[in-house]
Chains A and B, each alone.
Chain A
Amino acid sequence: MSENGNAVKPPALVVCGLRKDYGDDTVVSDFDFEVADGEFVTLLGSSGSGKTTTLMMVAGLVEPTGGTIEIAGQPVTGVPPQRRNIGMMFQSYALFPHLTVFDNVAFPLKRRRFPKAEISKLVIESLERMQLEGFGHRYPAQLSGGQQQRVALARATAYEPPLLLMDEPLSALDRNLRRSLQDELKRFHRTLRTAILYVTHDQEEALSLSDRVILMTEGRVAQVGTPQEIYQSPRSLFVARFLGESNALKGEVASCKGGEAVVKLRNGQVVGGTCSEPLPAGSQVVVVIRPENLMAEANDADGDGIAISVEEISFLGESVRCRGTFATSEPCTLMVGPDHASELSVGATRRVRWEPSKAVVLPGDT
């Protein structure tokens, strides 16, 4: 989301105080966010987190209970979907099966009453950009999954909308196809620089595609940040658990100064970590460490770090995953490079350490 250097463009999307109630059920509440021009933002959340409802409200397909939405500087609250000038991609692409590829891509242009010559020029350009030359006369059913995605992209971008909405376009596909289509989406975003609001429940997809991720839970924002920020500095246990694996050690604050906290664990040992807010001494906290940030060493009695007993080792190719139990009798997961795997063996006791900067101390005790 870097500044593009040219004249200041309004953000592709500004959402302010968005809210949706279904009867007594609040699906989305107090939701504010922005998508800058050219930015790729993902709404990430499990089902029922309100992410799809939010997308549908931006599209105009669901009416918000409250709040405002602006697309490219234009307020669109109350504007029907066909006049919002957005592009949208759906799960399984929603290509029109009774229309040819050409007519699918021409559909939005015809609805906008472009002149005929202009339509065929734009469609041909759009198909060329997606490397679909010569596919114009085919029907969607005659295309592969990758080609279908490109047709859907061509259709949603032929009229150069300032904002593209994507509703889990890849979630119905198998893993390998998903990977290659993710790469293609990234390439597409890099070349076109259209702002994208993407919805998914797949954290890997969110991390690998987005400039920024908005993690949602129960209709609210859990955390907003770049994929790195959100993965490395989760601001709550929910975020830490939602994104990847993490180890959680309960304890109470011994001291906290300048963003560094010292925590006394349940077995009386004292460990270090970072905290984003001052924590009162004696308060209940959880120390969260990613499995790859744990370093295993021989169990010297005088070394620092915590003892673990190794219970299970699985070789994953590029890394080795080890499950065990901390001396505090909390479960432990670590990932090490295959070179270090020889230091671990089932049944052994080892000592794990971590850089305090790589451990996050979060208030709470669950």
Chain B
Amino acid sequence: MARKLLWVVAAIVGLISIAPALIVIPYAFSESGFLDFPPGWGGWQWFEKVLDDPTWGEAAMRSLKVALIATGIASVFGTAAAYALVRARPRFSGMIVGLLVLPMVVPIIIFALGSFALGSDLGLVGSIWTLAIAHAALGLPFVLLNVRASLQLVDPSLERAARSLGAGPLSAFGRVTLPLILPGVLSGAVLAFVLSFDEPVVALFLSQDTDPTLPVKLFQTIRLALEPTVAAVSVMLLILGIAGAALWWVTVRFGQRRLRAAAASVPEGV
């Protein structure tokens, strides 16, 4: 009985969490030009419209570029920061982590406003690099925390062993430590990528109306007219998102196997 009840609760919670994402699917195939209910069957016309309109493709490319740059920056600096924090154990390392994780905690609108203020003072608003750097700051905590967790499981004497065996400091890191923490770096990077790719608030503040990123373009379109094109784009993103989640799941699985193997290498007996 209690078990059945748990199933019902779980089903309701599950439904509520995915319903808003799923509800757009029928609208993407809507018959009329408005988001009417019931949507009816209008075939693939809205998808065709999206694909015919180059501004959607441009927005998607822009988002992809920003996300890739942001992911690159967040991965390199997040990994470097995690390495310094775990290996060198500086004083106040707890405070440093707190500071670096701050973008995760600060309300996004405040962060966006701050980036805008800073960006416009420096005359940098409108460049995809500015947006990418702001997104990198948002993504860095995910890389930092993931890499820190995997780094803590790697025996520091491995790197010393590599040094004694003839590897320089960079080579020792690249050939020994990095392969072992790679799952952490990758899953942090995937999170940072997703975060940047569908982030609208900071992007709204830091991009120009004429060349928006994809989430900004979606927002602009919704404000103008509730056309089913928005639903069609959402469906495409949904598919992309599921693919991304699958990728993330695979890296995590892969990572667990790696780390288990590393942990098991402590000798147990003859």
Contacts and interface: CB of A to CB of B under 8 A. Distances in A.
B179 A165 contact: no
A148 B176 CA distance: 18
Contact of B267 (A60, A88, A155, A173): A173
Contacts of B258: 98
Interface in B208-256: none
A69 B267 CA distance: 33
B164 A81 contact: yes
A7 interface: no
Given A88-B161, A97-B180, A107-B162, A82 B265 contact: no
Interface residues of A, number: 42
Interface residues of B, number: 27
Contacts of A60: 163
Interface in B154-185: 155, 157-158, 160-168, 171, 175-176, 179-180
B105 interface: no
Contacts of A155: 165
A139 B261 contact: yes
A107 B168 CA distance: 12
Given A111-B167, A141-B261, A90 B161 contact: yes
Contacts of B268: 144-145
Contacts of A82: 163-168, 171
Given A97-B262, A141-B261, A141-B264, A108 B165 contact: yes
B270 A107 contact: no
Contacts of B20: none
Interface in A26-60: 59-60
B267 to A, nearest CB: 3
Nearest to A170: B267
Interface of A: 59-61, 80-88, 90-98, 107-108, 111-112, 139-141, 144-146, 148-149, 155-156, 159, 165, 172-174, 177, 180
Interface of B: 155, 157-158, 160-168, 171, 175-176, 179-180, 258, 261-262, 264-270
Closest 7 CB pairs of A and B: A145-B267, A111-B166, A88-B164, A108-B165, A94-B161, A97-B262, A141-B264
